[in-house]
Amino acid sequence: MTISKHKVVTLHYKLQEGDEAGELVEETFGGDPLVFLYGVGQMIPEFENQLSGKKAGDAFSFGIGSEEAYGTYDEESVVTIPKDTFVIDGKLDESLLQEGKVIPMRDPDGNQLLGTVMEIQDDEVVMDFNHPMAGVDLYFTVSIEDVRDATQSEIDHGHVHGPDGHHHH
């Protein structure tokens, strides 16, 4: 059975920055595999393109350029925010203000963003709202473990159910 829309794919992957010599970002080999419903937009589109037509037992590698992955790095997403933004109940939340800390925030439209604290100044905080992998080329090494038909319920809900999938609580 080959990978196509509404198949449930079980795979192991290793993700590195740039190419096969790049820094390891994450991998599932030796742990739980990734299980997902193919063709419903859960994954990076180019990741799914690379899997199309593959079957259980296939092992291969591919790169995805940053513009096809998490986008290019945008200098305009580095912003300076008044320090009093981090005042909670009249007190500055020092635990949030640590360089390198990733803080969930909301933009003026109420969308949640993740910002990384870059620099703490006297009255302001410099934050980077780029995705942590923005501007990074990705390199995947993939091993397809299993491909099966999705159930109607999985298709209706847009994700995998069962022992390896999403559970409704």
- Over the stretch 91-115, which tens digit does the pLDDT of each residue have? 988 888 999 999 998 888 988 889 9
Q: Provide CATH 3.10.50.40 ranges for the chain.
A: 7-70+134-157
pLDDT value of position 165 = 58
Q: pTM of the full predicted structure?
A: 0.80
Cβ atoms of 125 and 97 closer than 8 Å: yes
Per DSSP, the three-state class of 50 is: helix
Q: Provide CATH 2.40.10.330 ranges for the chain.
A: 75-128
Architecture of the 7-70+134-157 domain: Roll (3.10)
CB-based burial, 61-90: b 16+ in 10 Å, e otherwise: eebbebeebbeeeeeeebeeeeeeebeeee
pLDDT value of position 166 = 55
- State the fold for domain 75-128: Thrombin, subunit H (2.40.10)
Q: Which tokens belong to 107?
A: 């933009």
Residue 169 pLDDT greater than 50, yes or no: no
